[in-house]
Structures are given as C-alpha cells and as structure tokens.
Structure 1
C-alpha cells in the first residue's frame, strides 16, 4: 500500500485557496490536499480560456487536471472531491449546475459531442469541469478508442478539436476544461509506462496521493455548513476577480528567480531517472499553471516568487507521488540518494564533505546544490568552530528554511 510522502504544507496551502482547503479539512476526514486539488481544478475551469500566461513557447491556458490517488475506503478521495464540489457549486450556482459533469465520456466522439452541447454557434465551448471518480473506466475506454487520448492531449494545450463522421463534422474551438479524477494506486501504476503515458496523455495530469487526515465521529461531529458557506463566499469573490484578468505576466526579476531556483529544483527531482522523467515530463508546465492560479486567487495579474514557491511544493509532491507508486524509480535520482544519506546520518547530521563521500566524489558540487533545493526536509545549519564554519545537513520531517553557506 502506497504511503503519502513528506510535503511542504506551509507552501502548498499558502494563499486564499489554500486557506479554504485547510478550513474545509477541519470538518472532513479528507486529506486537505485532495480538497485543494478539487478546488484548484474547478477554479482553473471557471476562469475560462481567455486568461493565459505567456511563455517562450507561446500562450499557455490555465486548465488543471488532477488525479487523487488513494486506496478505496482509506484514501477519502470521494470526501475530498465532495466537499470541494459543494463549495464550487455554491459559489458559482448556475455554472456549477450546467458545466460540472460527473464523468468523462467513454469515446472520442462522446467527448467532442459533450463539449459541442455546451458550445455556441461558432464552436466556442463554455468552460467545464469533469469529475471522474472511476478513472479505471477511462483507462479501459482509451484501450478501445485511441481518439480519447488524442483529444485530451489537444485540449490540454487549448488546440481546436475536429471530429468527422459519415454524417457530421464537429469542431470545438479552444476547448477549456478542468478534470478531477480518482484512482487506486495499483490501477494508476498499471497505466504508467504505457503508450498513453509515454505518449503524453497521463503526464498532463497532476497525480496526488491522498489519505484520511483524521477520524471524525459518525454522529455529533462538526457541522460543515458554516465553513462551506464561508468558503463559497470567498471563492465567489476570487473567481469574479480572476475572470477580469486576461493575461498573467512574469517580471524579468521573477523569471530569473524561477530559472535559478524552481526550474533547477524540479529538474533535479527527475534528473537521471528516465522512467520518472517520462511520467513527470510536464512538471515545469504544471508549475507555471499552478503558480498562475495561485496568483489569480490573490487577484494578481503577475506571478511572484511566492506563487512559484507554492507551485513548486505542490508539483514536487506530485513527483514524489509518482515515485511512491513506482518503486522501481526509487533510489535512482540524485535527490533521493542525498535524502537517504542524510537520513542515515541521524540527529548528528553530516557535513557536505561527508555527503560527498556517501554519494560519490564524481558528482559535481553544483549538482548537489541543485538537488538540495528540491529537498526542503533537509535542514542546513552552521556549526561554529576553529576556522571556517561547517555546514551541517540534518533530515527533519518539517521542511526547513536553508541557511546559506
């Protein structure tokens, strides 16, 4: 049974959406990260296709597709999505009633037909949210109809969809929808490494391991209604402000910080691990999308470093999720080797020189520095003595701030 990896909750739950998820988590047994994933996907859907962020590769839509990975009965996937949807449907009543659909169509034709039923005469579809609590159904459907994967890949990039039959031709312009899906760890592992995974369908999703966060009494537990009502009011205001923003920008200063910290940290997590790299190929794209959503939730039309920090923490947890589900990837990446070495050192910790001996002197110092950026659980403190102070590395379950050498 997969266990949830360590994560930086302080960073992940930063900002208004994080606060909503934390508060909802207090009146539910669901993992708050599952609640946050539901709300993030719903928020990404609601803002629509006109709000984008521009990268070197071009304009990027902000729809987010998440998968809650958890064991049936213990993962509380259903509770996480259920309470998140109650807030979404209360915040945006008419949109929630008309544009939140509780299953993914089982054929390519079914998908474009569903989208066309929510489109105007020119083929521009309304923003939608698909909730698929039985992802196994979609997995099996993809084996029978390869068009589903093709259309999903195009939709993720906001590309037009065209489907021709002998009697009709359907065109969907710039489709925009979020997805929240549920799957058991063993079933998710079964699709990793397959054609639709390496071909790019499943690595467009952000998988997150979830587990029951607490046990509440069957009777007489906390009343969720006041919390849901307050959360819906906050989400309604957040959504209204975000819909007024058409472009989310990144300043030159923030872009430089992203390249030096966030990009390096993500690449270090999957560096040298081909299997993990295939499944997490779009980690950078997800980091940008998520950061933009964190910015929009604050009413900002610009992504700041704090938004990238939050996105990095969430995407890093997603990468850790894949590693946990695919044991064959464990131990290959440099961050993993460093983590194991520092853990083994115990409370006394180890110096960087000792770490170098443990993982191999052939590894360059700058590669170790990059890898340490992706491991917030490693606390770095200075030890004073004669001569130059030593930097001691210790493992802590609570992510700590790094002290510069």
Structure 2
C-alpha cells in the first residue's frame, strides 16, 4: 500500500547487515520499514556508547534522534519502534530494562537531575558536600565562593541510555515554557557535560550518551512547532522520518524464532566489535565520493529554504554519524562508499520528510478576537539590573521573534519577580534591545504584556519559500498587520518614560480554538531554577 505523494526512501538505505535485519522483519508487519530501520539505528547507537565515533568538525558520537511522523492509526509509529524494542530486549535485556525510559522528563532541569540519579543508581558516583571541589558561577557569570549546604551529584562519564517520547506534542509544548530544554538537548546531542543547579542541589551529567526516539502525527508537529524551537537549535538535532502503513496485513504474525535468533546474534557481534572500536575513518574512495558529489548535494538541499535550514542545519555531521553506524553493522572501523551512500540516503529522506510534512499538513487555524496594542515602556531602575539577567531577557525575547513573548514566561524562566523584571527590562530597553507592549483586556478581563526584541538581527539572504499546499488543506489564517495598530483616538499613552528606540508593533500569534470547547485552567508550571529534585533519588527516574 503506497500513500500518493509521500516521500519514498532510496533502497540503498537497507544495505548491509543492518538493512538485512530490517528486511527480515518486514514480511511479518505492516509497519513502515524506514520506521523500523530508524529505531534500530537509534537503539544501536545508544548501546555502543561513546567510544565508537567519527571525527567530522568535532567529536561525533554515533547518536541519532529520529522523529517518526505518521498519521494516527495509519502511520504505525508505535508498531515500528516496538519491533526494534523487542529485538533489543531479546539481545540486551539488562540494558533495555534499566536504561530505556518510556517518556521524556518535563523540563531541562528534570532531564539532568533524573538522568544523573539513574546513572548514580546504576554506576555509582561521588557526592560532594558544600561544593568544596566545584566553583559555581554567580549571576554575573563569574566564579563565586562555594555555597554553603549545596550538595553536588556528579555522574560517571559516558552514561548510556535512551528515551522514548511517544507523545512528542507534550515535549514541544513544554519546551515553549522552559527555555532550558533546548539548551540541555543541544549539549546532550553533542555528548557534552550539562549541569542543573537549585538552592540545595547541583547535578552534573558528564559526557552523556542518550538516544531519543519521538512519535508525533504530522498535523500536531506542524501546529506545535514554533520559531522559538528552531532558534533554540534543538530541531536540527532531530531526524524527522515520515512513516505510513506499508501494506494491508489483516493478521500480522509473530516473528519466527529462527529470524529473531539470527538478528540477535548479528546485533551481539556488532556491539562486541564496538567495545574494541574507537575512531571510525572513511577510506579513500568514500572521501572522494564525499568531496566530488555528496557534500554538494547535501549542502544544496539543506539550504533550499528557511524551513529546511532550520531542520537540516546538522545534516553533514548526521550523515557521518549514520555512516559510522553502517560501518559498525559490518563490524568494521572503516567507512566504505556503501556505508556513506546509505547514510546520505537517510539524510536525504529526512529532508524529503520535512518538505512533505510542511507542504501537505498545514493546519487550519481560527483567528483570535481582535485586541488593540499600545506601547507600555518599562519604568524601572536600570542600575538595579544585573548584566546576566539582562542578557537572559534579551535571549528569550530574541528567540520569540517579532511576535514577542508574554511577560509571564520571563518571570518563570528567569526566576525573578515583577519588580525585578521591570528593572531588568528598563536596562535592556535603555540599550534599544527590547520594547514592552500592553494588549487591551481580553475575554478573561486582564491585561496581557508582551516583550518584543528590537535589537540588531542576523542578516539572512532571501530564501525561496516552499510551494503552497494543495486545496486539500487550508493555509493558516493570519491576523492582518493593520489590526494591531491602534487608532490614535483609542490609545491612552501611560505616564511613563518613552522607549528610546521606536520599533514596529508586534504580531499577535494565533492558536486554534476547538468549537464550543471550554478552556481549562492551566496547571501550575514547575520552575526550572529552584524547583529541581529534592534529594539524590528524587527526579524523573524514581
């Protein structure tokens, strides 16, 4: 069964022993082979650890983070990953039981503290009282004196594990409320140390090696994806893979024991070889292929348009990570032409997935009721604001783009009160970096305050936009620019200092509202700073 218009994987993806594993499972399931293959690659990359790596620009561990994008029921996302899980549970039961978690923690701090707690349980570590051996940074970014009573928990280097984020929608929604989430994931994809500090505890996750497998329907992915996700840099660490039911199989049968045993033995050989393997290097023919053809093809496609740039910014190192996995599949430390071609085919399929999803799965939205906007400058004392706090405010505002961000998010992510936000905002405002606006009272009866970045922006060359979707879907309805400009007679200018740098009115983001649905009150959001785990064994992995 073929979905008309869907991206089609190049058959070279299924070369070698890893491809043979996927092909051996295919007759017994209606799951998409590319979904099974991506899940197998991710779990293999997690279990082999940090030692096998490729040197491309920097140290590249063989971690990949696939996102399986498929329609509900027809995508067979869960079925594809489950086949890979059953295979690895048979081959490596202890790893799968102790180190694979069924969901992603709720914040960047919880990811760090929970993973450190799990690592200490399994591998042991030292706990340092009062930070005697670790200099912490103060609010100005400079090393300060040890903080009395703070315990530091440090994992041993190279903790291996995996997360299964079967509800990626929740993760995307949380990442909009937690500015530390994207930064934490960026560092973990690189395999670098990440830290989380509260008033009583400091957690340090040293050189983690954790895979991530996500599931989400394409419509929800497009709807919940935002410019702030792209600005945070976490999206180009992901590997979007479109999946769809491969055939109609009315009674899928269990994988025969002989097939399972053969695949298990192959995986065990790969992992045993990886334990003795260090750097994986390309041979001369593979380097020639990269220099003469593949680099140019991938570079051209990854810079095709703005959306592609946001997702394919790491396509080059991703290709070499995948090539390293294909070489491990052959139990070789040399990356061949076949390995590199297979890896490039996966990377190219990722880019086809991005183009397909953002062309075909636009979601109809309903415009919010019109609300007027008026300037509402900060009137705090800039001398009371610390430079680190000003930089953090500017960072959040810049990530939000021209639409601006509500003041509540700044209060939450910066761990400050309204008075301090007024002082910090006044300092940034004096430098011409931000501007504050007030929206007229909405249906809830309260004012909404927006903080908009007005400083210098990175220059970008014009990019070609993707073609409009077919009539099958309706493009999002945007609020007209002129609606946001208050009529002169309707604006009452508050008695506050005028903003030093004029800037355009912000665009108000619109969100879809279900018909005749009541909006439930939002649950309280746990703060990142000061709201971490309260003990060595506390956290997500309890």
1:298 to 303, 307, 330: 330
Q: What's the counterpart of residue 405 of structure 2?
A: none
1:172 equivalent to 2:222? Answer no
1:184-211, Cα deviation, whole Å (9 max, x unpaired): 1012223445212233101101000000
* Contact 1:270-1:333 within 8 A present in 2 as well: no
Q: Is the 8 A contact 2:43 2:211 kept in 1?
A: yes
**Aligned counterpart in structure 2 of residue 311 of structure 1, from 343, 346, 349:** 343
Does residue 223 of the first structure (1) align with residue 254 of the second (2)? Answer: yes
Aligned to 1:249: 281
Alignment-derived partner of residue 318 in structure 2: 286
In 1, Cα distance between equivalents of 2:229 and 2:260: 37
SS in 1 for 2:82: helix
Q: Which one is further off, 223-232 or 19-28? A: 223-232
- Equivalent residue, structure 2, for 1:83: 83
What is the rounded CA distance, in whole Å, between the counterparts of 1:125 and 1:317 in structure 2? 30
Q: Of the two, which has the highest radius of gyration?
A: 2
CA contact (8 A) 1:47 1:242 kept: yes
The answer to whether the Cα contact below 8 Å between 1:271 and 1:333 also exists between their aligned partners in 2 is: no
1:358-380 CA-partner distances (Å, limit 9, x unpaired): xxxxxxxxxxxxxxxxxxxxxxx
- Residue in 1 that maps onto 2:493: none
Mapping of residues 117-132 of structure 1, within 5 Å? 117-119=118-120, 120-121=124-125, 123=155, 124-132=157-165
1:61-80 paired onto structure 2 within 5 Å: 61-80=61-80
CA 193–145 in structure 1, closer or farther in 2 if over 3 Å, else same? closer
Aligned to 1:207, what secondary structure does the other structure show? strand
Ranges of 4+ aligned residues in structure 1 off by more than 6 Å:
none
Deviation track 1:12-54 (CA, whole Å, cap 9, x = no partner) reads: 0001111111111111110011001111000000010122111
Gaps of 5+ in 2: 126-153, 362-462, 468-542
Map of 1:113 onto structure 2: 113
Shift of 1:167: 0.5
* C-alpha distance in 1 between matches for 2:46 and 2:160: 6
1:150: which partner in 2? 183
Query: Please, which of 180, 190, 211 is the counterpart of residue 244 of structure 2?
Result: 211
Q: Secondary structure at the match of 1:259?
A: helix
| 1:244 to partner: Cα distance | 1.7
Question: Unmatched 5+ residue regions in structure 1?
Answer: 338-405
Distance, in Å, in 1 between the alignment partners of 2:333 and 2:341 is 17
Are 1:8 and 2:40 counterparts? no
Q: Contact 2:176–2:229 (CA<8 Å) still a contact in 1?
A: no
User: Which deviates further from its counterpart, 160-169 or 320-329?
Assistant: 320-329
Encode CA deviations 1:79-138: one digit per residue, 9 max, x unaligned: 001111000111111111111111111111211122112243152252101111110111
Aligned length: 331
**Bigger proportion of residues as helix:** 1
Deviation readout 1:317-338 (Å, 9 max, x if unpaired) = 1100000011299xx879x99x
- Kept in 1: contact 2:159–2:207 (CA 8 A): no
Alignment RMSD: 2.3
SS in 1 for 2:66: strand
> 2:353 maps to which residue?
321
TM-score, length basis structure 2: 0.58
- Tell me if the contact between 1:99 and 1:126 (Cα under 8 Å) persists in the aligned partners: no
